[in-house]
Amino acid sequence: MVQSTRQIVLAARPEGMAKDSDFRLVEATIPAPNEGEVLIRVIWLSVDPYMRGRISDLASYAEPIPIGGVIVGDTVGEVMESRDPSSKAGDIVESYLGWQSHGVAKARALRKLDPRQAPVSTALGVLGMPGLTAYHGLIEVGRPRPGETVFVSGAAGAVGSAVGQIARIAGCRAVGSAGGPAKARHLTADLGFDAAFDYRAETDLRAALARTCPDGIDVYFDNVGGPITDAVLHHINLRARVVICGQIAGYNQRGKEMGPRNLWQLIVKRARIEGMLVSDFADKGEAARGYLTQWLHDGRLKYREDVVEGLENAPAAFRRLFTGENLGKQLVRVGPDPG
């Protein structure tokens, strides 16, 4: 049996913000699964800032997607047909099928989800890569101690919102910046951040940091880069740790982005800046997911999802990450829940 799938492929390498014309929706066929493989119908697709790197051809930690290639992405779907004893039709699984409606995957590359534990979409957000990124980045790289101040940029995003809440769980004061008054309010009113500000409304970011972090910043979890990071480096405490998780402010920049040189501040404060990728912590992933699940059940870890309907709207959903329109985890609904 040959299965048809709708796919979004890379039509052109974007200049700056990715346009609809940089993508193309195609109809393709995929062969029936071989021994050890399963056929999956995608329900949820995750769009994440890292994908901007994959559709560019600049050197990075992963190979770029070729022109004509399906855009990569984490997915949650339903097993339609299994040729492996570990899976059966009807299983809900996480797999990395990318921007398409159906796909064939190795059974051993799947992670089976239990819908009774949590809504399965959380496998792409708070209990998935973004949640694990927050946990490992904050705990393993940032190493917060109770009583310290943790500041997070992009705090209303999938990663940032988890960072602030985990910081609170770790006994820290959590402060965040986000774009727009609704997001800033969400951080304090809904997620329990101790303070937050709308960076777009601040004329002096250093003053905003002084106001919201009166004891300075011990751990800075950076999702954004650019001017907010420049300002934070003037407000860190002795032996501060800066976790570079993302630099989304620069992902759509053409050419070289310039900023003030401020590594001198690292001597003044004997501070550390370190870049991290969640995949480096794979061996600790299950333990971290256990904590996150427990906190979710305890009500100590909250999350928001922002859903765009339809695979054909994945490019628009992806752009929301850069315009900042999304509040919480940006998802694309590709197909209906199992019925």
Q: Which residues bind a copy of itself (CB under 8 A)?
A: 59-61, 222, 225-226, 229, 244-247, 250, 256-261, 263-277, 280
| Beta carbon of residue 242, minimum distance to a copy of itself (angstroms, whole number) | 9
Helix H or strand E segment including 333: strand 329-333
What would the two tokens of residue 72 be?
């990569």
What is residue 33's DSSP assignment?
P
What would the two tokens of residue 255 be?
């050419």
Beta carbon nearer to a copy of itself, 171 or 259: 259
Beta carbon nearer to a copy of itself, 116 or 264: 264
Strand-pairing partners, residue 38, are 82, 105
Beta carbon nearer to a copy of itself, 131 or 246: 246
Instruction: Tell how strand 37-46 and strand 75-82 pair up.
Output: antiparallel
Distance of CA 166 to the CA centre of its chain: 15
| Beta carbon of residue 65, minimum distance to a copy of itself (angstroms, whole number) | 17
209: helix, coil or strand? helix
**Which single residue is written with the structure tokens 């809440």?**
165
| Beta carbon of residue 272, minimum distance to a copy of itself (angstroms, whole number) | 4
Residue 23's identity, in one-letter code, is F
Strand-pairing partners, residue 5, are 28
Strand-pairing partners, residue 93, are 77, 112
Beta carbon nearer to a copy of itself, 30 or 244: 244
Residue 21's identity, in one-letter code, is S
Burial of 210 (0-12, 13-18, 19+ CB in 10 A): middle
- CB-based contact 121:94 (threshold 8 Å): no
| Beta carbon of residue 289, minimum distance to a copy of itself (angstroms, whole number) | 21
What would the two tokens of residue 216 be?
């300075």
Beta carbon nearer to a copy of itself, 15 or 309: 15
| Beta carbon of residue 228, minimum distance to a copy of itself (angstroms, whole number) | 12
| Beta carbon of residue 201, minimum distance to a copy of itself (angstroms, whole number) | 23
| Beta carbon of residue 176, minimum distance to a copy of itself (angstroms, whole number) | 19
Half-sphere exposure in the Cβ direction for 17 (13 Å, CA): 13
CA atoms of 322 and 35, how far apart (whole Å)? 41
**Which single residue is written with the structure tokens 């299965």?**
3
| Short-list 314, 252, 306, CA closest to 10 | 314
Instruction: Tell how strand 305-309 and strand 111-112 pair up.
Output: unpaired
| Beta carbon of residue 248, minimum distance to a copy of itself (angstroms, whole number) | 10
